[in-house]
Amino acid sequence: MSDRTISGLDHVAILARDIEWHRRFFEEALAMKVTLVDGAEDIPSQLWIVR
């Protein structure tokens, strides 16, 4: 067995029906920031969020 440990995640994609709820959750509960929006700002189709 290897003696390696996981030190973090590089990329995760999450499908969401209510993208605005998830945006608020990641921003408010996890202190993450939206760095890029695909689509209109008020109706985005994708968000890129980082910590």
DSSP sequence for 1-51: ---------S------S-HHHHHHIIIIIS--EEEEEEE-SSSEEEEEEE-
How high is the pLDDT of residue 1?
A: 57
- pTM exceeds 0.75 for this model: no
Q: Where are the domains of the chain?
A: 19-50
Structure tokens at 27: 């921003």
Residue 2 confidence class, pLDDT cut points 50, 70, 90: low
pLDDT of residue 44: 93
- How far is residue 41's CA from residue 45's CA, in Å, rounded to a whole number? 9
Q: What sign for the dihedral angle of Cα 21, 40, 43, 48?
A: negative
Determine the length of the chain.
Answer: 51
- Chain segment 6-48, per-residue pLDDT in tens: 788 888 899 999 999 999 999 999 999 999 999 998 899 999 9
